[in-house]
């Protein structure tokens, strides 16, 4: 490709040097010398050092000690270890700063010294800066060519599984990065990371605060994943896009075990790959630790990796100067260089922390469009109310239907897009591992979401307007995102294909200049309705063809459904247009993957496109479907079930009836089949009495709730809503049924799973009511704030309470777990909430409950408080100052009724 020509034809927009949030995105790297620069270009090998911790343990360091303190107490011994590595041939030695972050140092006992040493070290906890100064001095004193400042994990797990925030982790790392540069390190090694989000925080902290090159290595288990499920492919893709200067693997496994994982990384990395394995497993004999893999065996395993393209090597736990000396020999013998980038065009890639989505040039991919409120009433309602259940179901169903990326859009005028977009991305990431496409025109919102995103997201979108290019392109570059570029500029959407190409050229010239690889850019030629201009379809297809031909390497993306706007039988037009677009080079289709016709078009195209995996794709799916349709046709030929009758059967009798369709007479309407099935609890017996004379659908719904069967509930509710209003269904059927379930739970004839299954069934009913009536019909009975208190991460009990309260018609504001007391009170005050529920599972967190209640009394005296949780009892509840103690979820609902009505 000839980038110069492209740029000449469409000058790039000059970009600012900071992202909208003020993060510096372009910083000239400073290399200590030309060899180091060449090493990071992958042209020359680089030899690091081996283990530090194991060398210290051999000198008597106790387990649980803070080894970084030895840089101050025993600098001579630390320098001695570095010097041994330098003598063995290490070009770079790694400072003894693995855990030297503010949190770990504050918690460390400040008495570290090696046994028998004269040095004494008793002081207040040293600062990060002091440790880095001492550690870098220790390393420099050994006379190495380069000093690499070491940064390990914070020691705390990041949200959502842990409690540390991304920004908090970033601040810890930034402090280390600044100290490393200030005291003269030549490069930084971020190592032993298991969490891609934490690695990203560390990498950004170094990138944004220093000019030092960075090596990023993560640690993998035998299953080929980190503890948080990241694969070598995902790590290599996301980290090299983010600007790591080398990526790789360290710790946990021996060299033979990491070899296949390193190979998987090489295939996806755009930068040199690093291998620093352990020397096998530790063994202890009479107090002396040794590792199972000696230098020769270690290097034998390393040789294949070096031949395969690993160009930066060293060692981790258990490796010694002896290992490094052998590695020196290996490099001298076979040389080492980064594997040249694979010939041909690179695949388009995006990734979540757990899943890589890659698309070789010529293959087609599906982006799910459903999470976008435009024109979708239920989604709007979900975003307005903050109850995201519906959104999450949309995410899951699109995943199951074959989406490979999910578009996330929270653009509603009446909601705070920045807050909601972040929440959507977090929660959707909790229920699916699909990579996400952040869909917003608000640069601040985009940056706030892509910055902490664990993976390589896609941004939708930038356009040809100067303002948009200046705001969005730096974000995509800085955070290593794929980017959608819309063919629209100050002049609107060009009508012709050539006009669209001109805008595309301008976008690509700017992304080229910013250093964004072409395979990360997808041009959207923008679909216009053919109902207003029949030539629109042709223009789009021509534009796709032109973009692919004129801007080699760039991808195209298209939302197709607009094409049929204003015309009847739209799926037909959409699917046909999609196939046509594929045939002229469309790479990524933004569609509803649940639309069968579109999904069929994709599957069929993949066959013609030669990318169908015959073993399990088209043949498997469609042979099954053919059989199913044949079966259905046969069943349709049988006598139809009398309308309305089947509703009165239980699930099971319905199933039996289905199996024997046409041969068995249905049982009489009005029978109460649940009574027998509900078993020991026999829930329907009394209900049958209370409801005697009630119409069949009322009893049916009541019985379904009692039996905890959600499946048929929506259908029955629809039947009831045909003749009754929503309040009747809620107040006369669902709530009494829930009360009855609560009574049985109270009496010990129902257990928790039954209570919850009933709540689920009732919930299905409420959702159906909400979906089919105006909001005004279903008034909230009041707001209740819920949280698991600060310090506690157990949320099962709270979630059960939430479910039940929602069913009784309360609007629950769930603040989650580990909730800061003041944050809880702020929400209560802002939303004027009259009832709060606090949960704690551990005795150690009961004080946090007391503190939250104390703040509530001061700042929100109107708010009543219920407490609950495994360790609580009425006495504790009184001690912490609560108004109510609820021994279970059912009682919470009763108390809510008392307080809020």
Partner 1 sequence: MASYATAPELGRYAIRSVDRAEVLRYLGYLGHEVAPGFDEELDARIDRVIARCVDVSQPAGMVRVFDIAAAGTADEPPVLAGTTLRLSGHDISAHLRGARAVALMSVTLGLANERELLRLSLTSPLDQAIFDAAGSALVERAADAAEARIIALAAERGLYANDRYAPGYGDLGLEVQPALLESLNAPKLLGVSLTPSNMLVPTKSETAILGLFDELQEHREDRLCNVCACREFCTIRTQGRTCRG
Where in 405-434 is the site for partner 1 (CB under 8 A)?
427, 430-431
Smallest distance, Å, CB 143 to partner 1? 30
Candidates 75, 184, 282, 897: give the one binding partner 1 (CB under 8 A): 282
Q: Which of 69/174 has CB closer to partner 1?
A: 69
Q: Quick one: DSSP state of residue 624?
A: H
Q: Which of 550/820 has CB closer to partner 1?
A: 820
Smallest distance, Å, CB 614 to partner 1? 29
Candidates 137, 392, 415, 669: give the one binding partner 1 (CB under 8 A): 392
- Residue numbers 787-816 binding partner 1 by CB under 8 A: 790-796, 799-800, 802-803
Residue tagged 């980290």 (tokens): 239
Residue tagged 């980017």 (tokens): 483
Q: What residues are paired with 350 via a beta bridge? A: 357
- Long-range contact list for 156-163, CB < 8 A, 24+ apart? 156/103, 157/195, 158/195, 158/197, 158/198, 158/201, 160/426, 160/430, 161/228, 163/793, 163/818
Candidates 540, 590, 707, 838: give the one binding partner 1 (CB under 8 A): 707
Candidates 156, 401, 641, 671: give the one binding partner 1 (CB under 8 A): 156
- Residue numbers 5-24 binding partner 1 by CB under 8 A: none
- Residue numbers 655-694 binding partner 1 by CB under 8 A: 677-681
- Residue numbers 725-764 binding partner 1 by CB under 8 A: 751-754, 756-757, 759-760
* 319: its two tokens: 């490796």
Choices 367-375, 562-570, 707-715, 874-882; region in contact with partner 1 by CB under 8 A: 707-715
CA distances in angstroms from 636 to 401, 411, 597, 688, listed in the order given: 26, 44, 22, 35
Nearest to 557 by CA among 458, 447, 479: 458
Candidates 174, 190, 239, 251: give the one binding partner 1 (CB under 8 A): 251
* 113: its two tokens: 């010294």
CA distances in angstroms from 256 to 215, 260, 279, 552, listed in the order given: 22, 8, 10, 40
Nearest to 199 by CA among 209, 208, 190: 190
Task: Compute the C-alpha angle 245/246/249, nearest 5°.
Answer: 150
* Count of beta carbons in the 10 Å neighbourhood of residue 711: 11
Q: Which of 174/707 has CB closer to partner 1?
A: 707
Q: Which of 421/706 has CB closer to partner 1?
A: 706
CA–CA separation, 776 vs 341, rounded Å?
A: 61
- Residue numbers 425-484 binding partner 1 by CB under 8 A: 427, 430-431
Candidates 442, 651, 820, 826: give the one binding partner 1 (CB under 8 A): 651
Q: Residue 467, Cα to own-chain centre: how many angstroms?
A: 30
Smallest distance, Å, CB 164 to partner 1? 9
Smallest distance, Å, CB 27 to partner 1? 31
Smallest distance, Å, CB 227 to partner 1? 3
Smallest distance, Å, CB 507 to partner 1? 37
Interaction between residue 289 and partner 1 (CB under 8 A): yes
Nearest to 159 by CA among 663, 819, 751, 667: 819
- Residue numbers 844-863 binding partner 1 by CB under 8 A: 844-845
Full DSSP string of 139-201: HHHT--SEEEEEE---SSPBTTTSSB-HHHHHHHHHHHHHHHHHTT-SEEEEEEE--HHHHHH
Smallest distance, Å, CB 694 to partner 1? 23
* 61: its two tokens: 């360091």
Smallest distance, Å, CB 452 to partner 1? 16
- Residue numbers 190-249 binding partner 1 by CB under 8 A: 192, 194, 219, 222-223, 227-229
Smallest distance, Å, CB 18 to partner 1? 33
Full DSSP string of 737-760: HHHHHHHHHHHTSS-HHHHHHHHH
Smallest distance, Å, CB 793 to partner 1? 6
Candidates 44, 49, 65, 399: give the one binding partner 1 (CB under 8 A): 65
Choices 258-266, 458-466, 492-500, 705-713; region in contact with partner 1 by CB under 8 A: 705-713
* 227: its two tokens: 């503890």
Q: Which of 141/396 has CB closer to partner 1?
A: 396
Q: Which of 429/510 has CB closer to partner 1?
A: 429
**How close are the terminal C-alpha atoms of the chain, in Å?**
71
- Residue numbers 123-152 binding partner 1 by CB under 8 A: none
Q: Which of 336/710 has CB closer to partner 1?
A: 710
* Count of beta carbons in the 10 Å neighbourhood of residue 868: 25
């Amino acid at each position: 490709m000839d980038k110069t020509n492209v740029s000449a034809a469409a000058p790039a927009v000059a970009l600012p040097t900071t992202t909208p949030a003020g993060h510096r995105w372009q910083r000239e790297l400073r290399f200590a010398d030309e060899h180091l620069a060449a090493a990071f270009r992958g042209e020359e090998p680089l030899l690091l050092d081996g283990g530090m911790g194991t060398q210290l343990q051999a000198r008597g360091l106790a387990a649980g000690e803070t080894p970084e303190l030895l840089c101050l107490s025993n600098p001579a011994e630390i320098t001695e270890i570095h010097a041994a590595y330098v003598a063995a041939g290490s070009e770079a030695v790694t400072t003894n700063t693995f855990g030297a972050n503010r949190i770990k140092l504050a918690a460390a006992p400040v008495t570290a010294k090696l046994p028998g040493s004269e040095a004494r070290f008793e002081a207040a906890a040293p600062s990060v800066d002091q440790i880095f100064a001492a550690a870098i001095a220790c390393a420099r004193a050994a006379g190495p060519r380069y000093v690499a400042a070491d940064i390990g994990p914070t020691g705390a797990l990041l949200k959502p599984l842990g409690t540390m925030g991304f920004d908090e982790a970033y601040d810890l790392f930034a402090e280390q990065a600044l100290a490393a540069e200030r005291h003269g390190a030549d490069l930084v090694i971020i190592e032993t990371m298991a969490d891609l989000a934490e690695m990203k925080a560390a990498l950004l902290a170094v990138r944004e605060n220093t000019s030092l090159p960075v090596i990023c290595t993560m640690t993998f288990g035998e299953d080929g994943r980190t503890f948080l499920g990241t694969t070598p492919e995902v790590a290599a893709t996301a980290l090299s896009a983010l600007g790591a200067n080398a990526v790789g693997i360290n710790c946990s496994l021996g060299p033979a075990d990491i070899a296949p994982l390193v190979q998987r990384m090489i295939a996806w990395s755009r930068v040199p790959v690093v291998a620093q394995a352990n020397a096998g497993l530790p063994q202890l004999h009479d107090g002396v630790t040794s590792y199972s893999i000696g230098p020769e065996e270690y290097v034998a395993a390393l040789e294949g990796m070096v031949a395969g393209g690993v160009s930066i090597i060293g060692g981790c736990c258990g490796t010694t100067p002896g290992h490094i000396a052998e590695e020196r020999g290996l490099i001298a013998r076979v040389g080492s260089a980064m594997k040249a980038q694979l010939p041909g065009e690179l695949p388009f890639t995006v990734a979540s922390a757990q899943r890589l989505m890659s698309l070789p040039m010529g293959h087609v991919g599906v982006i799910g469009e459903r999470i976008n409120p435009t024109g979708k009433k239920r989604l709007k309602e979900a975003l307005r109310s903050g109850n995201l259940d519906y959104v999450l179901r949309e995410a899951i169903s699109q995943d199951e239907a074959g989406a490979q990326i999910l578009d996330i859009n929270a653009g509603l005028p009446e909601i705070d897009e920045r807050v909601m977009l972040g929440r959507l991305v977090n929660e959707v990431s909790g229920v699916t591992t699909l990579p996400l496409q952040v869909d917003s025109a608000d640069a601040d919102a985009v940056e706030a979401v892509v910055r902490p995103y664990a993976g390589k997201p896609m941004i939708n979108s930038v356009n040809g307007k100067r303002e948009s290019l200046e705001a969005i392109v730096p974000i995509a570059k800085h955070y290593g995102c794929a980017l959608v570029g819309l063919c629209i500029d100050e002049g609107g959407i060009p009508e012709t294909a050539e006009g669209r190409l001109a805008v595309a050229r301008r976008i690509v010239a700017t992304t080229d200049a910013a250093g964004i690889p072409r395979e990360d850019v997808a041009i959207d030629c923008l679909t216009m309705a053919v109902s207003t201009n029949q030539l629109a379809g042709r223009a789009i297809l021509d534009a796709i063809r032109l973009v692919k031909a004129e801007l080699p390497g760039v991808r195209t993306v298209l939302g197709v459904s607009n094409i049929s706007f204003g015309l009847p039988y739209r799926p037909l037009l959409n699917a046909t247009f999609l196939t046509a677009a594929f045939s002229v080079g469309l790479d990524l289709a933004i569609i509803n993957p649940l639309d069968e016709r579109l999904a069929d078009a994709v599957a069929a195209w993949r066959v013609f496109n030669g990318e169908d995996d015959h073993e399990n794709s088209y043949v498997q799916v469609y042979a099954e479907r053919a059989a199913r349709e044949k079966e259905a046709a046969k069943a349709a030929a049988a006598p139809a079930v009398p309308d309305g009758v089947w509703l009165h059967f239980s699930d099971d009798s319905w199933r039996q009836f289905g199996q024997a369709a046409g041969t068995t007479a249905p049982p009489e309407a009005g029978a109460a089949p649940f009574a027998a099935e509900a078993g020991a609890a026999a829930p329907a017996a009394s209900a049958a009495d209370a409801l005697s004379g009630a119409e069949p659908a009322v009893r049916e719904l009541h019985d379904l709730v009692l039996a905890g069967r959600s499946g048929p509930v929506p259908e029955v509710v629809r039947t009831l809503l045909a003749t009754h209003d929503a309040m009747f269904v809620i107040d006369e059927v669902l709530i009494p049924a829930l009360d009855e379930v609560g009574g049985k739970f109270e009496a010990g004839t129902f257990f928790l799973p039954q209570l919850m299954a009933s709540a689920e069934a009732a919930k299905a009913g409420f959702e159906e009511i909400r979906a089919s009536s105006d909001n005004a019909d279903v008034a909230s009975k009041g707001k209740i704030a819920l949280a698991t208190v600060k310090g506690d991460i157990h949320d099962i009990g709270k979630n059960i309470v939430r479910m039940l309260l929602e069913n009784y018609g309360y609007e629950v504001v769930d603040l989650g777990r580990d909730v800061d007391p003041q944050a809880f009170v702020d929400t209560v005050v802002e939303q004027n909430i009259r009832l709060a529920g606090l949960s704690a599972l551990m005795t150690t967190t009961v004080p946090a409950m007391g503190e939250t209640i104390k703040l509530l009394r001061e700042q929100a005296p109107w708010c009543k408080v219920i407490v609950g949780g495994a360790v609580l009892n009425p006495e504790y509840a009184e001690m912490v100052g609560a108004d109510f103690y609820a021994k279970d979820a059912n009682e919470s609902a009763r108390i809510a009724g008392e307080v809020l009505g």
